[in-house]
Structure 1
Amino acid sequence: MSIEINLEKMERLTAKVWRSYCKEDPFSHLSFNEYDYLKTVQASLEPIRLTDLAKELEVSKPSATNMVKRLEKKGLVERLPCPEDARAKRVILTEKARIPLASETEIYGAVAEKLKVNLSQSEFASLNQLLTKALRPE
């Protein structure tokens, strides 16, 4: 079977688990881009500067600013003044976004458990090792 077919099956498995865990997905109304912005803000260890957010997502600063304003109107992010530069803003998740994003760990844990069923411990460790290598940032 090709990797493309296996990746599609993985996506469908993940979607199935999402549906079973989240009868009402709080992010179902978001576009992929909006969700990607939220995940990038979540991954930042500290409030992320708008400039850094734009760089991370490979978009222009005006695009990042517009998206952050849209997410702010939805109550999902908040912009804070940057202590190092009064002209800059930093972005953080609000509680409304933080709680559902945190529950994703449980969902991906369930996906991992479904994958483990057909694999030995060593095969599962190898799968994790290969995914880690293949998904390394460029």
Structure 2
Amino acid sequence: MTLEEGLKRLERHMWDLWRQHSQHSGSMELTNSELDYLYALLSAPEGLRLTELAALMRVSKASASVMVSKLGARGYLRKTACPADRRATRLYATIRTQHLEVEERDVYASAAASLREALDEEEVRELSRLLEKASRGLK
């Protein structure tokens, strides 16, 4: 099997795991772009201003505002007054969004368990080392 074929098979397995988990959580309702915004908020427990979120996502403030409105209406983020500047608001992930983070951990734990069943301990260590090395240059 080539590297490309192996990556494709792994991607299909991961996608299948996501589908299985999302049937219970409803997270399949989210687009990749929406998930990117939510993960950005999860990475900032102190919250983000709209301007900061737009810069982080590399989009205009207007685009970020539309996405924030959509996600807020669906209960994935909340807005509070910014203590430093009452004219601004801070955006925070809600409990609903934090559940996505738990779901993600569960999906990757399932994938890792599948790999541990197929490999011996030394192969798992070698795979971990190679994945770390290969991912250094990735975004």
- Structure-2-length-normalised TM-score: 0.82
SS at match of 2:13: helix
2:53 corresponds to: 53
Q: Which moved more, 1:127-136 or 1:116-125?
A: 127-136
- 2:77 counterpart residue number: 77
- TM-superposed CA distance for 1:99, in Å, is 2.1
- Compute the displacement of 1:134 (Å): 3.3
Q: Distance in 2 between matches of 1:3 and 1:46?
A: 40
Decide whether aligned partners of structure 1 residues 117 and 33 sit closer, same or farther in structure 2, where only a CA change above 3 A counts: same
- Local SS of the residue matching 1:23: helix
Residue 112 in 1 paired to residue 124 in 2?
Answer: no
> Does residue 63 of structure 2 align to residue 35 of structure 1?
no
Structure 1 unaligned blocks of 5 or more: none
Distance (whole Å) between structure 2 residues aligned to residue 75 and residue 94 of structure 1: 7
Please report how far the alpha carbon of residue 82 of structure 1 lies from its aligned counterpart in structure 2 after TM superposition.
Answer: 2.0
Aligned-pair Cα RMSD in Å:
2.2
Percent identity, aligned pairs only, is 33
Q: Judging changes above 3 Å, is the alpha-carbon distance between structure 1 residues 2 and 55 closer, same or farther for their aligned structure 2 residues? A: farther
* Distance (Å, rounded) in 2 between the aligned partners of 1:79 and 1:3: 45
Once the two structures are superposed, residues 77-104 of structure 1 have per-residue CA deviations (whole angstroms, 9 ceiling, x without a partner) of 1122222233332211112222243232
State TM-score, norm by structure 1. 0.82
Indicate whether 1:131 and 2:131 are aligned.
yes
State the partner residue of 2:99: 99
Unpaired stretches in structure 2, ≥5 consecutive residues: none
